Chain A
Amino acid sequence: DSGVTQTPKHLITATGQRVTLRCSPRSGDLSVYWYQQSLDQGLQFLIQYYNGEERAKGNILERFSAQQFPDLHSELNLSSLELGDSALYFCASSASGWGEQFFGPGTRLTVL
């Protein structure tokens, strides 16, 4: 158990819908990262937050957004969902803005 929690574990929805994925980092970790894992793209970095502020942005679509709240949990919002958004979405946390990251169990999103 990494100490990072993600909810829900599974999510099935339809094209065009909007979903929210939630992540709670390890106690004391200030940085949260979001990654997408798919068969064709592999593991891709989406976005990083550090103590509530956006720190880095990767291959994140404009339909996707994220935020980190004062209690340091983070949410990833995916809207206007397409079939190709079906993937595993991982959250990771680290104590600082760099170094080793601890990954949550992931949320498996299926868009039908």
Chain B
Amino acid sequence: AQSVTQLDSQVPVFEEAPVELRCNYSSSVSVYLFWYVQYPNQGLQLLLKYLSGSTLVKGINGFEAEFNKSQTSFHLRKPSVHISDTAEYFCAVSGGNTGKLIFGQGTTLQVKP
């Protein structure tokens, strides 16, 4: 079975500061990892994905994440956040012979001016 744990339910940060949203996963098979963002009253938008290859993955809006197999982590980072980054962020894992996504509980990023 697969599971995802997002270690922080809320992360408050000031504008232009760096941020890291933490995600740990558990799986008995090789995994694919994703970060999605959900703005208020909207659907989920893919930020970035790790399928294979380089463990440092760059996504949209200046976000990046690093896949660490030994620590079973896939933390999301951004060097300088903007007010517009305020949203809910979800880490997800898939693997095995289906593409179903298992999501973490989400982290609310609150960017303050």
Contact = CB atoms under 8 A, between A and B. Distances in A.
A98 B100 CA distance: 7
B74 interface: no
B9 to A, nearest CB: 11
Interface size class of B (residues with CB under 8 A): 20 to 34
Interface residues of A, number: 27
A98 B46 contact: no
A98 B32 CA distance: 9
Interface stretch (B10-18, B60-68, B77-85, B102-110): B102-110
Interface string B26-56: 0000001010100000111110010100000
A35 B94 CA distance: 14
Contacts of A58: 100
B94 A2 contact: no
Contact of A103 (B45, B49, B94): B45
B90 interface: yes
A99 to B, nearest CB: 6
A18 interface: no
Contacts of A105: 42-43
Contacts of A44: 103
Given A56-B98, A100-B46, 5 more contacts: A56-B99, A94-B99, A98-B98, A103-B43, A106-B43
7 contacts: A33-B100, A35-B101, A55-B99, A92-B44, A97-B98, A101-B99, A106-B43
